A and B are shown apart, each in its own frame.
Chain A
């Protein structure tokens, strides 16, 4: 992208979104929803933003699909880099279409590992009015961080506890934050269970929590509702 295209004055937002998607069996409906909407994601978000009088100067999307390191470490995390939309919409679609909703083992999943990877993403640092948004889709609670740290393929650099992850998320006058305070947002489509509702949605700053029904795969959420919620977080 050229400098000319990058400079949009003080009127537009540079939006990075990391979609953390629980890809275990029960999540088939929401995955199907995301798959079918992948190519329109950019236009639909732009439309919703326009209705709010806002515009996007740059939109990048990254996907982290997660299952359970305790069940099958080989497919516990699959992820893309940041993809520019709409230019790389096909790559986004291909990746999402390649995710099968399968496995998972016990009820909790490795959602916190996915969240930690998202927090440490290579966020846009240059453009004005940056928004760094993490969107978590899951219908399950999460294993404690570090529980499966010995698993082969367990990502390096994952915090050893939820408290350490909170330090990376940051708070007022935080010295250890990885996320940029004015840019960060966390949108949770997750059950009203630990750790999602408490402590994350209740205690971390700049969170929105749309409570889902545990084990029911987020069937109640339409893509329009999801995009509206993301737009409201910006």
Chain B
């Protein structure tokens, strides 16, 4: 299987796309086609959020899509959230979520087309809409990941970083490219990040376990989330800096990302986890604009506690991230081994209390009155100015340092070692 997604439009195939090309957004349905009988027989609950049908500026649909499925009998719950910061200009591809019933394995992935490195237009749709290399790169990478997972699940392809890399190279090599007037070491053809988790249910003894393989290039991330240990990162950003708080403060350039014109590497590691557990992949629109790394976990769990269904959870996540991010944001989540949404929510209630006590109630006074990204122009902070805010920057920095110091050991439990750098 892979799930069903609610789409507002289906762009035609890019010129030069490989034979069998499936338009972006249809990839997950296409995955189901070769093996429908053996695939997960879920009837996904399609979540069309209240805002989903409301036209946005210029008659465009509001840029958000969520998708989810909750099958408590099988202990499988999945969702994805996708939003654009600027309507019609988003460069994240839609998240990929798939679970193959017969082989007991699945995959979730996100793709963030890199606008700075791939800003040049490379493809024009039949309606005249021009698309950048970043936009095309993210969607072609999604297509490649879709095919890779199909072949892993149904054709015996080895699930390794190297085989995923070769699928990406194959598809990107056949995607539309245009020679740009701009060169230089920042430029890439069809650049995108990729963060995925391939998982497999195994039963070596009586208890089922989960074999996990995070796979990534760039600065999108994969996580495991469990009630006792909280959010733990499974990937290390391909940047020269690896401290998550410092990454928030500097937003450094990437040293490795998926692209069509240079060597890149798919990084990976293998882990075993017991059930139940939640797997998450997210682009930096979710975790790159928060005040401290713990805020992302707080966002996930506070919205979970406020939701009555998985559809509501996805919609609350979407609303929460749109209120604080300055970027496109996409997230894929799979929960395995819980007895439905209520069980999941109940198991994380205590963890949210702990997070709230340690990282929310300790926030410096005035922090939440700062201008948001949406309204923040130069000098816009002046309206929030008052005497008690005079030392706010220093207090925020001190709070960030201390909360990160407390949160970091658990968060970095599975942080992999650094990859040799790419220039």
Contact = CB atoms under 8 A, between A and B. Distances in A.
Interface of A: 2-13, 46, 51-59, 86, 128-130, 171-173, 181-183, 185-186, 188, 197, 201-211, 228-229, 232-234
Interface in B365-409: 370-373, 376-379, 381-382, 384-385, 389-394, 396
B240 A55 contact: no
Given A128-B249, A172-B423, A232-B116, A4 B326 contact: no
A55 B251 CA distance: 14
Secondary structure dominating the interface of A: mixed
A172 B418 CA distance: 14
Most chain B Cβ neighbours within 10 Å, of A9, A57, A201: A9
B241 to A, nearest CB: 7
A56 B382 contact: no
Contacts of A208: 182-184, 186-187
B119 interface: yes
A182 B421 contact: no
B173 interface: no
B159 to A, nearest CB: 31
A52 B116 CA distance: 10
Contacts of A188: 184
Contacts of B251: 13, 129, 182
The 5 A-B pairs with the shortest beta carbon distances in the complex, nearest first, are: A182-B252, A53-B85, A7-B393, A207-B184, A11-B373
Nearest to A201: B184
Contacts of A206: 185-186, 253
A218 to B, nearest CB: 13
Contacts of A207: 184-186
A233 B85 contact: no
Contacts of B372: 11
Contacts, number: 138
Nearest to A189: B182
Contacts of B252: 181-182
A232 B184 contact: no
A59 B381 contact: no
B289 interface: yes
B250 interface: yes
Contacts of B377: 46, 55
B86 interface: yes
B421 A172 contact: yes
Nearest to A229: B182
A56 B326 CA distance: 12
Contacts of B184: 186, 188, 201-202, 207-209
Interface in B148-199: 181-187
Contacts of A4: 381-382, 384-385, 389-390, 392
Given A128-B250, A233-B116, 4 more contacts: A2-B390, A3-B391, A129-B249, A182-B241
A17 to B, nearest CB: 14
Most chain B Cβ neighbours within 10 Å, of A10, A208, A233: A10
Given A11-B289, A12-B376, A185-B186, A55 B326 contact: yes
26 contacts: A4-B385, A4-B389, A4-B390, A5-B385, A6-B381, A6-B393, A7-B392, A8-B376, A10-B248, A10-B290, A10-B291, A11-B376, A13-B251, A52-B115, A53-B86, A55-B326, A57-B378, A59-B378, A172-B240, A197-B183, A206-B186, A207-B186, A209-B184, A210-B181, A232-B119, A234-B116
B56 to A, nearest CB: 15
A233 B186 contact: yes
Interface string B6-17: 000000000000
Nearest to B381: A5
A208 B187 CA distance: 7
B373 A58 contact: no
B94 interface: no
A182 B116 contact: no
A135 to B, nearest CB: 13
A53 B373 contact: yes
A55 B371 CA distance: 11
Given A4-B384, A171-B423, A205 B373 contact: no
